[in-house]
Structure 1
Amino acid sequence: MDRDDRVEPLSEADCLQLLRTVPIGRVVYTEHALPAVLPVAFELTPDDRLVLGLRAGSSLSRALDGTVAAFQADRLDPITRSGWSVLVHGRAELVRDEADRQRLLRSGPRPWCGGGEERTFARITPELVSGRRLVAAGQALHRTR
């Protein structure tokens, strides 16, 4: 970024609103004691929890269950050098309630990879939410509200 480009912090409310505008993000988790990152389809529930669409029995679904994970999503424009990025940290758990699972099977996010197989879902309950808006020199800041 140029010296005149700005990185401006976003409020938690703005971060959650921006997450509702994109269907794909990246989940950060631990695999074999190392950080791992994978793209995932997701949605934000009315109570502001992230629901990730996963392949049932995948190493990702096993690695996420009962752990602290991070989730990042963004929308960046390389031409205007602007956009936003949101990072969420929280506890991840597989959806085990059968009524919730059936509802999510009908209308929830589909796995980004290998969607033809049996699906499962993980929820991340946000504990820390942060974000940044990237504003190129000479551009006005656009509020999300």
Structure 2
Amino acid sequence: MIRHDRPAHRRIDLDRAEALRLLGSVSMGRIVFTRQALPTARPVNHVLDGGDIVIRTHEGSALTSQAQPADDNGVVVAYEADAIDPDTHLGWSVVVTGYARLVTDPHELARIRALLEPWAAEPGMDHAVRIHPDLITGILLIAWSEAAPEHG
């Protein structure tokens, strides 16, 4: 039987400022980059720093080997974070697309190390990658009962 009821959720597009605010409210996300010509996703923790997303990584990681030093263009990546309730399926999701660059300035790297403790305690997590957001999209999933009344 096909149901024609109103869906239980309403999707609201977020503006850039709200999407970044929500992204900054969590510490974990997923970075998507190209490895051997295929998309690869990795869970990582992050911090927002001056509107950029910063993650820690180690020498020899697939991302570290692809991210260029800060004075080059870098590598295109996507970064996604969310907070969606597993029972109600309500919450939000933000996707950032931009260029990832390896942080090479020793003073900036020391500052980042103080800001962000890696959640995966791998040896050599001494590197950092900065993602400058060029495109930010986000959605909020709310219950219809929370939505503004429909017109017409």
| Shorter-normalised TM range | 0.7 to 0.9
User: Following the alignment from structure 1 to structure 2, what is the Cα–Cα distance between the partners of residues 44 and 97?
Assistant: 18
Go from structure 1 to structure 2 and tell me whether the alpha carbon gap of 1:56 and 1:111 turns closer, same or farther (over 3 Å shift): farther
Structure 1's unaligned 5+ residue stretches are none
Larger Rg: 2
The CA RMSD over aligned residues, in Å, is: 1.7
The aligned amino acid for 1:84 is W
User: Following the alignment from structure 2 to structure 1, what is the Cα–Cα distance between the partners of residues 137 and 115?
Assistant: 25
Q: CA deviation at 1:58?
A: 1.4
Q: CA deviation at 1:36?
A: 0.4
Identity of aligned residues (%): 36
1:32 is matched with: 36
Query: Which TM-score applies when normalising by structure 1?
Result: 0.87
Q: CA deviation at 1:40?
A: 0.8
2:84 is matched with: 76
Aligned ranges 1:22-61 → 2 under 5 Å: 22-45=26-49, 47-61=50-64
> 1:72–1:87: 8 Å Cα contact kept in structure 2?
yes
Structure 2's unaligned 5+ residue stretches are 1-5, 69-73
User: Following the alignment from structure 2 to structure 1, what is the Cα–Cα distance between the partners of residues 25 and 147?
Assistant: 21
* Candidates 14, 17, 24, aligned match of 2:18: 14
> 2:56–2:116: 8 Å Cα contact kept in structure 1?
yes
The aligned amino acid for 2:52 is R
